[in-house]
Amino acid sequence: MKTGTAFVSVVLSLLATSPLTAGDPQNVTIRGERFDVWPVEDLVKRGFDVAPVPRAENAAWVYLEAVNTYVELPEALEDAFKYTVDETWPNGHTELEEYVRLPGNQRAIELTCKAATMSGYQMPYSGDRTDSILGILLPSLSHMRFLAKLMIVDARRLEAQYQYDKAVNLYVSVMRMGAHAAQGVTLIEGLVGMAIWRIGERAVSDMALRRPLSHRQLNTLLTEVNKLAPRLPTVDRGLQGERSMGPAVVDELCSRPVRLLANLWFGAEAGDMQFVPEGFTANPEDGWSRLELRVGRLIYPDRAIKRHMRGYYDKVLEKAKKGPAKAAAMSFDEEQYIQEVIPQWDVLSRILLPSLSRAVTIGERIKTELTATRAVVAIRIYMLDHFGRLPVTLHEVEETLPKDALIDPFSDDLLVYRPSDDGFLLYSVGPNLVDDGGQQGKRWDQLDMVYKFPPEAVKPFEVQGDEE
Protein backbone atom coordinates (compact mmCIF):
# COMPACT_ATOMS: atom_id res chain seq x y z
CA MET A 1 0.00 0.00 0.00
CA LYS A 2 2.87 2.41 0.75
CA THR A 3 4.32 1.82 -2.70
CA GLY A 4 0.94 2.43 -4.33
CA THR A 5 0.40 5.61 -2.35
CA ALA A 6 3.85 6.89 -3.31
CA PHE A 7 3.14 6.12 -6.95
CA VAL A 8 -0.15 8.05 -6.85
CA SER A 9 1.66 11.05 -5.40
CA VAL A 10 4.31 10.80 -8.08
CA VAL A 11 1.70 10.58 -10.81
CA LEU A 12 -0.16 13.61 -9.51
CA SER A 13 3.02 15.65 -9.15
CA LEU A 14 4.01 14.70 -12.68
CA LEU A 15 0.63 15.60 -14.10
CA ALA A 16 0.84 19.06 -12.59
CA THR A 17 3.52 19.96 -15.17
CA SER A 18 1.86 18.71 -18.39
CA PRO A 19 1.61 21.21 -21.23
CA LEU A 20 -1.46 22.26 -23.18
CA THR A 21 -1.69 23.15 -26.81
CA ALA A 22 -1.32 26.79 -27.63
CA GLY A 23 -4.35 28.99 -28.23
CA ASP A 24 -5.70 32.44 -27.55
CA PRO A 25 -6.45 32.74 -23.82
CA GLN A 26 -10.06 33.16 -22.78
CA ASN A 27 -11.59 33.62 -19.39
CA VAL A 28 -14.95 33.54 -17.67
CA THR A 29 -16.08 35.22 -14.46
CA ILE A 30 -18.35 33.26 -12.13
CA ARG A 31 -19.72 34.97 -9.02
CA GLY A 32 -16.81 37.41 -9.04
CA GLU A 33 -14.07 34.82 -9.55
CA ARG A 34 -12.17 34.71 -12.82
CA PHE A 35 -11.21 31.44 -14.51
CA ASP A 36 -9.16 30.65 -17.58
CA VAL A 37 -11.09 28.70 -20.18
CA TRP A 38 -9.62 25.41 -21.35
CA PRO A 39 -9.12 25.51 -25.14
CA VAL A 40 -11.68 23.38 -26.98
CA GLU A 41 -9.12 22.47 -29.62
CA ASP A 42 -6.94 20.88 -26.94
CA LEU A 43 -9.82 18.70 -25.71
CA VAL A 44 -10.60 17.60 -29.25
CA LYS A 45 -6.93 16.72 -29.79
CA ARG A 46 -7.03 14.56 -26.67
CA GLY A 47 -9.97 12.56 -27.99
CA PHE A 48 -12.93 14.27 -26.31
CA ASP A 49 -16.17 14.74 -28.25
CA VAL A 50 -16.44 18.51 -27.88
CA ALA A 51 -17.96 20.67 -30.60
CA PRO A 52 -17.56 24.46 -30.36
CA VAL A 53 -20.88 26.32 -30.15
CA PRO A 54 -21.00 29.99 -31.23
CA ARG A 55 -21.40 32.13 -28.15
CA ALA A 56 -24.62 33.77 -29.37
CA GLU A 57 -26.18 30.31 -29.77
CA ASN A 58 -24.72 28.78 -26.62
CA ALA A 59 -27.19 28.40 -23.74
CA ALA A 60 -24.26 27.96 -21.33
CA TRP A 61 -23.38 31.65 -21.47
CA VAL A 62 -26.99 32.59 -20.65
CA TYR A 63 -26.92 30.20 -17.70
CA LEU A 64 -23.68 31.84 -16.56
CA GLU A 65 -25.33 35.26 -16.79
CA ALA A 66 -28.10 33.90 -14.56
CA VAL A 67 -25.48 32.47 -12.17
CA ASN A 68 -23.92 35.93 -11.86
CA THR A 69 -27.33 37.55 -11.27
CA TYR A 70 -28.99 35.62 -8.45
CA VAL A 71 -28.83 36.95 -4.89
CA GLU A 72 -26.91 34.94 -2.31
CA LEU A 73 -29.21 32.97 -0.01
CA PRO A 74 -29.19 34.36 3.56
CA GLU A 75 -28.14 31.80 6.14
CA ALA A 76 -31.38 32.41 8.08
CA LEU A 77 -33.40 31.07 5.10
CA GLU A 78 -31.38 27.94 4.38
CA ASP A 79 -33.69 25.55 6.27
CA ALA A 80 -36.85 26.96 4.69
CA PHE A 81 -35.24 26.91 1.25
CA LYS A 82 -34.21 23.25 1.59
CA TYR A 83 -37.62 22.27 2.95
CA THR A 84 -39.32 23.90 -0.03
CA VAL A 85 -37.09 22.09 -2.53
CA ASP A 86 -37.60 18.74 -0.80
CA GLU A 87 -41.25 19.04 0.23
CA THR A 88 -43.54 21.99 -0.51
CA TRP A 89 -43.98 25.71 0.04
CA PRO A 90 -43.98 26.66 3.77
CA ASN A 91 -47.19 28.67 3.97
CA GLY A 92 -46.84 32.04 5.62
CA HIS A 93 -43.08 32.26 5.21
CA THR A 94 -42.95 35.87 4.06
CA GLU A 95 -39.16 36.17 4.35
CA LEU A 96 -38.60 33.34 1.86
CA GLU A 97 -41.15 34.83 -0.51
CA GLU A 98 -39.46 38.22 -0.29
CA TYR A 99 -36.10 36.61 -1.07
CA VAL A 100 -37.39 34.66 -4.07
CA ARG A 101 -39.11 37.73 -5.49
CA LEU A 102 -36.01 39.94 -5.30
CA PRO A 103 -35.34 41.49 -8.75
CA GLY A 104 -31.98 39.72 -9.03
CA ASN A 105 -33.55 36.33 -8.41
CA GLN A 106 -36.48 36.90 -10.74
CA ARG A 107 -34.05 38.03 -13.43
CA ALA A 108 -31.92 34.91 -12.86
CA ILE A 109 -35.03 32.73 -13.21
CA GLU A 110 -36.02 34.55 -16.41
CA LEU A 111 -32.55 34.02 -17.90
CA THR A 112 -32.54 30.34 -16.92
CA CYS A 113 -35.91 29.80 -18.60
CA LYS A 114 -34.54 31.50 -21.71
CA ALA A 115 -31.41 29.33 -21.72
CA ALA A 116 -33.49 26.18 -21.24
CA THR A 117 -35.28 26.79 -24.55
CA MET A 118 -32.03 27.09 -26.55
CA SER A 119 -30.72 24.11 -28.48
CA GLY A 120 -26.96 24.74 -28.47
CA TYR A 121 -25.06 24.10 -25.24
CA GLN A 122 -21.40 23.72 -24.31
CA MET A 123 -20.30 24.86 -20.88
CA PRO A 124 -16.75 26.28 -20.94
CA TYR A 125 -14.21 24.12 -19.11
CA SER A 126 -11.78 25.93 -16.86
CA GLY A 127 -8.33 25.30 -15.49
CA ASP A 128 -4.68 26.21 -15.54
CA ARG A 129 -3.46 26.08 -19.13
CA THR A 130 -0.23 24.45 -17.94
CA ASP A 131 -2.03 21.83 -15.85
CA SER A 132 -2.96 18.21 -16.50
CA ILE A 133 -6.25 17.16 -18.04
CA LEU A 134 -7.08 15.85 -14.55
CA GLY A 135 -7.04 19.46 -13.37
CA ILE A 136 -9.97 20.47 -15.56
CA LEU A 137 -12.57 22.47 -13.63
CA LEU A 138 -16.30 23.08 -13.88
CA PRO A 139 -16.82 25.82 -11.28
CA SER A 140 -20.29 26.51 -12.66
CA LEU A 141 -21.86 23.20 -11.61
CA SER A 142 -22.70 24.02 -7.98
CA HIS A 143 -24.18 27.35 -9.07
CA MET A 144 -26.24 25.61 -11.76
CA ARG A 145 -27.68 23.33 -9.08
CA PHE A 146 -28.54 26.35 -6.94
CA LEU A 147 -30.27 28.00 -9.89
CA ALA A 148 -32.37 24.87 -10.38
CA LYS A 149 -33.33 24.85 -6.70
CA LEU A 150 -34.19 28.56 -6.82
CA MET A 151 -36.57 27.85 -9.70
CA ILE A 152 -38.14 24.95 -7.81
CA VAL A 153 -38.70 27.18 -4.78
CA ASP A 154 -40.35 29.86 -6.89
CA ALA A 155 -42.48 27.24 -8.65
CA ARG A 156 -43.57 25.78 -5.30
CA ARG A 157 -44.63 29.30 -4.30
CA LEU A 158 -46.67 29.66 -7.49
CA GLU A 159 -48.12 26.18 -7.02
CA ALA A 160 -49.27 27.10 -3.49
CA GLN A 161 -51.03 30.11 -5.04
CA TYR A 162 -52.80 27.80 -7.53
CA GLN A 163 -50.81 29.21 -10.45
CA TYR A 164 -50.26 25.71 -11.78
CA ASP A 165 -49.46 26.65 -15.39
CA LYS A 166 -46.63 28.95 -14.34
CA ALA A 167 -45.30 26.36 -11.91
CA VAL A 168 -45.28 23.68 -14.61
CA ASN A 169 -43.30 25.97 -16.91
CA LEU A 170 -40.59 26.36 -14.25
CA TYR A 171 -40.49 22.64 -13.42
CA VAL A 172 -40.12 21.73 -17.08
CA SER A 173 -37.44 24.40 -17.52
CA VAL A 174 -35.46 22.78 -14.69
CA MET A 175 -35.69 19.43 -16.48
CA ARG A 176 -34.45 21.05 -19.71
CA MET A 177 -31.60 22.61 -17.75
CA GLY A 178 -30.66 19.18 -16.45
CA ALA A 179 -30.67 17.80 -20.00
CA HIS A 180 -28.29 20.60 -21.00
CA ALA A 181 -25.91 20.09 -18.09
CA ALA A 182 -25.63 16.37 -18.85
CA GLN A 183 -24.35 17.07 -22.38
CA GLY A 184 -20.84 17.69 -21.10
CA VAL A 185 -17.99 15.27 -21.69
CA THR A 186 -17.25 14.51 -18.04
CA LEU A 187 -19.09 12.02 -15.88
CA ILE A 188 -19.58 14.61 -13.14
CA GLU A 189 -21.55 16.75 -15.61
CA GLY A 190 -23.77 13.79 -16.39
CA LEU A 191 -24.40 13.19 -12.69
CA VAL A 192 -25.10 16.86 -11.98
CA GLY A 193 -27.39 17.02 -15.01
CA MET A 194 -29.31 14.04 -13.70
CA ALA A 195 -29.56 15.62 -10.24
CA ILE A 196 -30.94 18.85 -11.73
CA TRP A 197 -33.36 16.96 -13.98
CA ARG A 198 -34.52 14.89 -11.03
CA ILE A 199 -35.60 17.78 -8.80
CA GLY A 200 -37.69 19.15 -11.67
CA GLU A 201 -39.17 15.78 -12.57
CA ARG A 202 -39.89 14.92 -8.91
CA ALA A 203 -41.74 18.23 -8.50
CA VAL A 204 -43.84 17.30 -11.54
CA SER A 205 -44.82 13.94 -10.05
CA ASP A 206 -45.58 15.59 -6.68
CA MET A 207 -47.85 18.07 -8.40
CA ALA A 208 -49.65 15.35 -10.35
CA LEU A 209 -50.21 13.34 -7.15
CA ARG A 210 -51.15 16.20 -4.81
CA ARG A 211 -52.89 18.91 -6.80
CA PRO A 212 -56.40 18.91 -8.31
CA LEU A 213 -55.15 19.62 -11.82
CA SER A 214 -57.65 20.01 -14.64
CA HIS A 215 -57.80 17.72 -17.65
CA ARG A 216 -56.13 20.44 -19.74
CA GLN A 217 -53.35 20.95 -17.19
CA LEU A 218 -52.63 17.22 -16.91
CA ASN A 219 -52.55 16.84 -20.68
CA THR A 220 -50.22 19.82 -20.98
CA LEU A 221 -48.00 18.32 -18.30
CA LEU A 222 -47.85 14.93 -20.02
CA THR A 223 -47.20 16.54 -23.42
CA GLU A 224 -44.26 18.54 -22.06
CA VAL A 225 -42.76 15.55 -20.26
CA ASN A 226 -43.17 13.37 -23.35
CA LYS A 227 -41.32 15.96 -25.42
CA LEU A 228 -38.48 15.91 -22.93
CA ALA A 229 -38.27 12.13 -22.64
CA PRO A 230 -35.81 11.73 -25.57
CA ARG A 231 -33.49 14.21 -23.82
CA LEU A 232 -33.39 12.24 -20.59
CA PRO A 233 -29.88 12.62 -19.09
CA THR A 234 -27.85 9.43 -19.11
CA VAL A 235 -24.34 8.42 -18.05
CA ASP A 236 -23.42 7.27 -21.57
CA ARG A 237 -21.75 10.51 -22.65
CA GLY A 238 -19.95 10.83 -19.33
CA LEU A 239 -18.69 7.26 -19.63
CA GLN A 240 -17.39 8.05 -23.12
CA GLY A 241 -15.62 11.05 -21.63
CA GLU A 242 -14.09 8.86 -18.93
CA ARG A 243 -12.99 6.48 -21.70
CA SER A 244 -11.14 9.38 -23.35
CA MET A 245 -9.70 10.66 -20.07
CA GLY A 246 -7.60 7.56 -19.30
CA PRO A 247 -5.65 7.46 -22.59
CA ALA A 248 -5.15 11.24 -22.38
CA VAL A 249 -3.50 10.82 -18.97
CA VAL A 250 -1.35 7.99 -20.35
CA ASP A 251 -0.15 10.31 -23.11
CA GLU A 252 0.74 12.93 -20.49
CA LEU A 253 2.74 10.43 -18.49
CA CYS A 254 4.56 8.99 -21.47
CA SER A 255 5.56 12.44 -22.61
CA ARG A 256 7.14 13.28 -19.22
CA PRO A 257 9.10 10.21 -18.00
CA VAL A 258 12.15 12.28 -16.95
CA ARG A 259 10.05 14.04 -14.33
CA LEU A 260 8.46 10.76 -13.32
CA LEU A 261 11.85 9.07 -12.84
CA ALA A 262 13.24 12.11 -11.02
CA ASN A 263 10.33 12.07 -8.61
CA LEU A 264 10.65 8.34 -8.12
CA TRP A 265 14.37 8.74 -7.38
CA PHE A 266 14.11 11.71 -5.04
CA GLY A 267 10.75 10.81 -3.51
CA ALA A 268 7.19 11.97 -4.01
CA GLU A 269 7.63 14.68 -1.37
CA ALA A 270 10.02 16.43 -3.76
CA GLY A 271 7.39 16.55 -6.45
CA ASP A 272 7.30 20.34 -6.59
CA MET A 273 11.04 20.52 -7.28
CA GLN A 274 11.94 20.45 -10.94
CA PHE A 275 14.55 17.65 -11.27
CA VAL A 276 14.95 18.15 -15.01
CA PRO A 277 17.88 19.11 -17.20
CA GLU A 278 18.85 22.76 -17.24
CA GLY A 279 17.15 24.58 -20.05
CA PHE A 280 14.32 22.04 -20.28
CA THR A 281 11.02 23.54 -21.49
CA ALA A 282 7.48 22.22 -21.97
CA ASN A 283 7.61 23.08 -25.67
CA PRO A 284 6.86 19.87 -27.64
CA GLU A 285 9.28 21.06 -30.34
CA ASP A 286 12.11 21.46 -27.81
CA GLY A 287 14.95 18.96 -28.19
CA TRP A 288 14.74 17.75 -24.60
CA SER A 289 10.97 17.29 -24.91
CA ARG A 290 11.31 15.19 -28.06
CA LEU A 291 13.98 13.05 -26.42
CA GLU A 292 11.86 12.62 -23.30
CA LEU A 293 8.85 11.60 -25.37
CA ARG A 294 10.90 8.91 -27.16
CA VAL A 295 12.26 7.62 -23.87
CA GLY A 296 8.77 7.55 -22.41
CA ARG A 297 7.41 5.44 -25.24
CA LEU A 298 10.32 3.05 -24.93
CA ILE A 299 10.02 2.44 -21.20
CA TYR A 300 6.26 2.81 -20.81
CA PRO A 301 3.98 0.51 -22.89
CA ASP A 302 1.35 3.14 -23.59
CA ARG A 303 -0.50 1.13 -26.26
CA ALA A 304 -1.01 -1.82 -23.94
CA ILE A 305 -2.20 0.44 -21.11
CA LYS A 306 -4.65 2.23 -23.39
CA ARG A 307 -5.93 -1.14 -24.60
CA HIS A 308 -6.55 -2.24 -21.00
CA MET A 309 -8.39 0.99 -20.21
CA ARG A 310 -10.54 0.91 -23.31
CA GLY A 311 -11.39 -2.75 -22.76
CA TYR A 312 -12.63 -1.90 -19.28
CA TYR A 313 -14.75 1.05 -20.44
CA ASP A 314 -16.18 -0.96 -23.33
CA LYS A 315 -17.43 -3.51 -20.80
CA VAL A 316 -18.93 -0.79 -18.60
CA LEU A 317 -20.65 0.83 -21.59
CA GLU A 318 -21.97 -2.52 -22.77
CA LYS A 319 -23.42 -3.16 -19.34
CA ALA A 320 -24.99 0.31 -19.20
CA LYS A 321 -26.61 -0.08 -22.63
CA LYS A 322 -28.11 -3.46 -21.74
CA GLY A 323 -30.00 -2.00 -18.80
CA PRO A 324 -30.02 -3.44 -15.28
CA ALA A 325 -32.39 -6.37 -15.93
CA LYS A 326 -30.34 -7.78 -18.85
CA ALA A 327 -26.98 -6.69 -17.43
CA ALA A 328 -27.57 -8.90 -14.40
CA ALA A 329 -26.82 -11.88 -16.64
CA MET A 330 -23.42 -10.48 -17.62
CA SER A 331 -20.47 -12.05 -15.86
CA PHE A 332 -18.79 -8.66 -15.45
CA ASP A 333 -17.74 -7.38 -12.07
CA GLU A 334 -15.69 -4.17 -12.23
CA GLU A 335 -13.35 -4.83 -9.32
CA GLN A 336 -12.86 -8.45 -10.37
CA TYR A 337 -12.09 -7.35 -13.93
CA ILE A 338 -9.43 -4.89 -12.75
CA GLN A 339 -7.82 -7.49 -10.47
CA GLU A 340 -7.94 -10.48 -12.83
CA VAL A 341 -7.78 -9.09 -16.38
CA ILE A 342 -5.47 -6.09 -16.05
CA PRO A 343 -1.85 -7.21 -15.44
CA GLN A 344 -0.20 -6.29 -12.18
CA TRP A 345 2.51 -4.33 -13.96
CA ASP A 346 -0.15 -1.93 -15.30
CA VAL A 347 -0.25 0.06 -12.07
CA LEU A 348 -1.66 3.12 -13.81
CA SER A 349 -4.83 1.37 -15.00
CA ARG A 350 -5.30 -0.23 -11.60
CA ILE A 351 -5.05 3.18 -9.95
CA LEU A 352 -7.03 5.33 -12.36
CA LEU A 353 -9.89 3.05 -13.41
CA PRO A 354 -12.86 3.96 -11.20
CA SER A 355 -15.83 1.88 -10.12
CA LEU A 356 -18.72 3.15 -12.23
CA SER A 357 -21.56 0.80 -11.28
CA ARG A 358 -23.03 3.36 -8.88
CA ALA A 359 -23.17 6.01 -11.62
CA VAL A 360 -24.85 3.55 -14.00
CA THR A 361 -27.45 2.68 -11.35
CA ILE A 362 -28.18 6.38 -10.76
CA GLY A 363 -28.79 6.73 -14.49
CA GLU A 364 -31.32 3.91 -14.35
CA ARG A 365 -32.98 5.57 -11.38
CA ILE A 366 -33.61 8.73 -13.42
CA LYS A 367 -35.06 6.66 -16.25
CA THR A 368 -37.30 4.76 -13.85
CA GLU A 369 -38.58 7.89 -12.14
CA LEU A 370 -39.47 9.45 -15.49
CA THR A 371 -41.38 6.28 -16.41
CA ALA A 372 -43.28 6.41 -13.12
CA THR A 373 -44.05 10.13 -13.46
CA ARG A 374 -45.51 9.66 -16.93
CA ALA A 375 -47.57 6.74 -15.64
CA VAL A 376 -48.90 8.80 -12.70
CA VAL A 377 -50.02 11.61 -15.01
CA ALA A 378 -51.63 9.12 -17.42
CA ILE A 379 -53.53 7.47 -14.56
CA ARG A 380 -54.79 10.85 -13.34
CA ILE A 381 -55.98 11.69 -16.86
CA TYR A 382 -57.76 8.31 -17.03
CA MET A 383 -59.51 9.04 -13.72
CA LEU A 384 -60.84 12.37 -15.02
CA ASP A 385 -62.00 10.69 -18.23
CA HIS A 386 -63.83 8.00 -16.23
CA PHE A 387 -65.45 10.08 -13.47
CA GLY A 388 -62.88 9.17 -10.85
CA ARG A 389 -62.67 5.45 -11.60
CA LEU A 390 -59.19 3.98 -11.51
CA PRO A 391 -57.86 1.79 -14.31
CA VAL A 392 -57.88 -1.88 -13.38
CA THR A 393 -54.50 -2.44 -15.06
CA LEU A 394 -51.90 -0.20 -16.66
CA HIS A 395 -52.94 -1.55 -20.05
CA GLU A 396 -56.00 0.70 -19.80
CA VAL A 397 -53.89 3.86 -20.03
CA GLU A 398 -52.09 2.77 -23.18
CA GLU A 399 -54.25 5.06 -25.30
CA THR A 400 -52.71 7.96 -23.38
CA LEU A 401 -49.25 6.52 -22.96
CA PRO A 402 -47.75 3.73 -25.12
CA LYS A 403 -46.80 0.47 -23.45
CA ASP A 404 -43.06 0.95 -23.96
CA ALA A 405 -43.28 4.14 -21.87
CA LEU A 406 -44.63 2.09 -18.95
CA ILE A 407 -41.78 -0.44 -18.77
CA ASP A 408 -39.78 -0.64 -15.56
CA PRO A 409 -36.05 -0.54 -16.51
CA PHE A 410 -35.26 -2.69 -13.48
CA SER A 411 -37.56 -5.54 -14.55
CA ASP A 412 -38.09 -5.10 -18.31
CA ASP A 413 -41.80 -5.49 -17.54
CA LEU A 414 -44.64 -3.10 -16.76
CA LEU A 415 -44.38 -1.08 -13.58
CA VAL A 416 -46.26 -2.81 -10.77
CA TYR A 417 -49.69 -1.19 -10.37
CA ARG A 418 -52.19 -1.99 -7.62
CA PRO A 419 -55.50 -0.10 -7.47
CA SER A 420 -57.51 -0.03 -4.24
CA ASP A 421 -60.76 1.47 -2.96
CA ASP A 422 -59.08 4.70 -1.93
CA GLY A 423 -56.23 5.09 -4.45
CA PHE A 424 -53.38 3.21 -6.06
CA LEU A 425 -49.85 1.98 -5.54
CA LEU A 426 -47.35 2.22 -8.38
CA TYR A 427 -43.78 1.01 -8.09
CA SER A 428 -40.60 -0.22 -9.71
CA VAL A 429 -38.83 -3.27 -8.32
CA GLY A 430 -35.74 -1.07 -7.96
CA PRO A 431 -32.00 -1.78 -8.16
CA ASN A 432 -32.22 -5.04 -6.21
CA LEU A 433 -34.32 -6.38 -9.16
CA VAL A 434 -36.72 -8.04 -6.69
CA ASP A 435 -40.43 -7.30 -6.22
CA ASP A 436 -40.63 -6.52 -2.49
CA GLY A 437 -44.38 -5.97 -2.55
CA GLY A 438 -44.25 -2.19 -2.66
CA GLN A 439 -42.06 -1.81 0.41
CA GLN A 440 -39.72 1.15 0.52
CA GLY A 441 -36.24 1.00 2.01
CA LYS A 442 -34.49 3.68 4.01
CA ARG A 443 -32.59 4.55 0.83
CA TRP A 444 -33.90 4.73 -2.72
CA ASP A 445 -31.69 1.84 -3.86
CA GLN A 446 -33.13 -0.55 -1.29
CA LEU A 447 -36.34 -2.51 -1.89
CA ASP A 448 -38.91 -0.88 -4.25
CA MET A 449 -39.31 2.64 -5.69
CA VAL A 450 -42.87 3.53 -4.69
CA TYR A 451 -45.50 6.11 -5.72
CA LYS A 452 -48.74 6.35 -3.74
CA PHE A 453 -52.06 8.05 -4.49
CA PRO A 454 -53.20 9.80 -2.47
CA PRO A 455 -49.71 10.52 -1.14
CA GLU A 456 -48.82 10.74 2.50
CA ALA A 457 -49.22 14.14 4.12
CA VAL A 458 -46.18 16.38 4.10
CA LYS A 459 -44.67 17.28 7.46
CA PRO A 460 -45.18 21.00 8.20
CA PHE A 461 -42.12 23.20 8.20
CA GLU A 462 -40.59 23.86 11.60
CA VAL A 463 -38.01 26.54 12.21
CA GLN A 464 -34.76 24.99 13.41
CA GLY A 465 -33.90 27.44 16.17
CA ASP A 466 -30.90 27.28 18.48
CA GLU A 467 -31.67 25.67 21.80
CA GLU A 468 -30.38 27.25 24.97
pLDDT reported for residue 465: 53
Nearest CA among 249, 300, 250, 259 for reference residue 282:
259
pLDDT tens across the length of the chain (468 residues):
343 433 333 333 333 333 333 333 478 889 999 988 888 888 888 788 888 888 899 999 999 999 999 999 999 999 999 999 999 999 889 999 999 999 999 999 999 999 999 999 999 888 766 666 767 778 888 999 999 999 999 999 999 999 999 999 999 999 999 999 999 888 889 999 999 999 999 999 999 999 999 999 999 999 999 999 999 998 888 888 888 887 877 777 666 655 544 544 444 444 444 434 444 344 445 555 565 555 555 556 778 888 999 999 888 888 888 888 887 777 788 888 888 899 988 877 888 788 888 888 898 999 999 999 999 999 999 999 999 999 999 999 998 999 999 999 999 999 999 999 989 999 999 999 999 999 988 888 889 999 999 999 998 888 665 443
d(CA 192, CA 145): 8
Q: How far from chain centre, in Å, is Cα 433?
A: 23
In the chain, what are the domain boundaries?
A: 31-234, 360-453
pLDDT reported for residue 87: 95
pLDDT reported for residue 287: 57
d(CA 292, CA 260): 11
Q: Which residues pair with 28 in a beta bridge?
A: 35
Spatial neighbors of 374 by CB under 8 A, at least 6 apart, are 222, 225, 226, 229, 401, 405, 406
SS3 call for 193: helix
pTM score, whole prediction = 0.84
- Listing DSSP states for 354-369 in one string gives PP-HHHHHHHHHHHHH
SS3 call for 298: helix
